[in-house]
Amino acid sequence: MVERLQLNPQFRGIGFTSQRTRNRMIERLVEQGIKNKAVLDVLRNLPRHLFVDEALSHHAYEDTALPIGLGQTLSQPYIVARMTELLLEKSPKKVLEIGTGSGYQCAVLSCLVANVWSVERLDSLLEKARQRIKTLNLNNVHLYHTDGSFGLASAAPFNAILVTAAPKEIPASLFDQLAEGGRLIIPVGDEQQMLSIFDKQDGKLMQTDIQPVRFVPLLSGAN
């Protein structure tokens, strides 16, 4: 599904959006241990600069998190790549993302899986993400304005759930909405956070801790 990005050559741009700049980002990701070629290809071609304010565009391909307003951030490329790589190990066709944010992680997923559902509690962020997704013609994305701590029961079950904000405790709804054989990828904790995966096998959850991380907290509330 990576080839859909080739339909948008106008987004390759020049200067800070040049292919050389993107290639340097990919080289860093490889050095950091990212191995999945499909993930690397998507991050190489997807215009990350479209997912931040214009004033921050020159930082778009650096390995750093960037503010997107309302106390939220666009995760650094390494974290996006690593979480996506972990998700693809299960070859999911139906994925739920908790925390649309800028829409970047959602867009990455849409190029690699059949269908993506994504929920966001902050309406202004969701509307910006919706416009970006539309601009890129990513038609397999379904966006919802709702509290991510409840998941999205109306579309469950999901083969994989990816959470882009850290709860102190994992909402039980996410476990319930995960299909048998599915995988939940989530950062958990307060001051100290751990990125973990939970694989659902025979109705039970098998936990594997991946690495310490730092995400914004997962909050409740519609606005």
Does 92 sit behind a cis peptide bond, omega within 30 degrees of 0 on the bond before it?
Answer: no
- From CA 95, how far away is CA 106, in angstroms rounded? 10
- Give burial (CB, 10 Å; 0-12/13-18/19+) of 219: middle
Domains of the chain, earliest start first: 65-213 (3.40.50.150)
Asked if 66 contacts 56 with a C-beta cutoff of 8 angstroms, the reply is yes
pLDDT tens by residue, 73-118: 999 999 999 999 999 999 999 999 999 999 999 999 999 999 999 9
Asked if 159 contacts 93 with a C-beta cutoff of 8 angstroms, the reply is yes
Q: What is the pTM of this model?
A: 0.91
Name, in order, each residue with C-beta under 8 angstroms of 48's C-beta and a sequence gap of 6 or more. Answer: 60, 61, 74, 77, 104
Q: What are phi and psi of 172, to 5 degrees?
A: -60, -30
pLDDT tens by residue, 133-162: 999 999 999 999 999 999 999 999 999 999
Active site residues: 75
